[in-house]
Amino acid sequence: MSLADWYTADLSPRPETYRPFLPFANAVRAANASVKLSSGGTLATFFSQKHDIALITPMTKLVILEYPDPRLRKKAAAVTAVDDAVRQLADNMLETMYAAKGVGLAATQVDVHKRLIVLDVSDSRDQPLVLINPELLMREGSGPGEEGCLSLPGIYDKLSRATHIRVRALGRNAEPIEMDAEGLLAVCIQHEMDHLEGKLFVDYLSELKRQLIRRRLEKERRQRSTGSGLRATAPSASAPAL
């Protein structure tokens, strides 16, 4: 089943729904025409992928903050100018997202508190989307789905999101974007926009669940720091890491 099919199998397609991708300069695209982006594995992990997007432009992997780091609670500020620094940040975030085998990442998660998110829900992992200063104009419907988060490694749970949204933003080169999204893409955008408000998907869960998750992550971090244990694998690998 494809990434989109995973979440939209029971949803009828909506007219005029589209998924723009991050444009690269023609010369860069031509120079890298031979790059093949591998796909495979589960939606949550993509274990076998090589993420050859790193060959397109020099990028740097960033450190992803992990829950309950208080910096994840900071509200992001609007990007006032889309300059080279912002474009480099977007590129670095994409590199970090691909390396972490995720499908979305917010600037808040890498301790940069600007309103910028990156995503790629494509099977081929070659349709990166950059949204700067995203705004939700409309949301419709409600559907359950299992979510994960790169800031809560190995944690997955079910919650409901709007199944169809309309979002307005600026692209990587400050081009205006207004688009409809549904299914997995809609879920990813809502999830990442929550991060910009200092909110995580576990905030939708009960206090008891949050306490259990926090203790589990703290235990795993202690084990990693001492080399005494490996991170547990999630019981279900069908959810996206966002």
Query: DSSP characters for 151-200?
Result: TEEEEEEEEEE-SEEEEEEE-TTS-EEEEEEEHHHHHHHHHHHHHHTT--
Residue 240 domain-assigned (yes or no)? no
Residue 232 domain-assigned (yes or no)? no
Does the pTM surpass 0.75? The reply is: no
Q: Tell me, yes or no, if 192 is annotated catalytic.
A: yes
Work out whether strand 104-106 and strand 116-119 pair parallel, antiparallel, or are unpaired: antiparallel
Residue 234 domain-assigned (yes or no)? no
CATH of the domain at 145: 3.90.45.10
The tens-digit pLDDT sequence of the chain (242 residues) is 334 333 333 344 444 433 333 333 333 333 333 222 222 223 333 333 333 433 444 668 999 999 999 999 999 999 999 999 999 999 999 999 999 999 999 999 999 999 999 999 999 999 999 999 999 999 999 999 999 999 999 999 999 999 999 999 999 999 999 999 999 999 999 999 999 999 999 999 999 999 999 999 999 999 988 876 554 444 444 566 88
Residue 7 domain-assigned (yes or no)? yes
Residue 228 is predicted with a pLDDT of 65
Residue 95 domain-assigned (yes or no)? yes
| Residue tagged active-site, from 140, 178, 192, 197 | 192
Nearest residue to 159 (alpha-carbon basis) of 18, 7, 1: 7
3-state secondary structure 96-156: HHHHCCCCEEEHHHHCCCECEEEECCCCCCCCCEEEEEEEEEEEECCEEEEEEECCEEEEE
Residue 40 domain-assigned (yes or no)? yes
Residue 219 domain-assigned (yes or no)? yes
Tell me how many domains the chain contains: 1
Domain that holds residue 74: 3-226
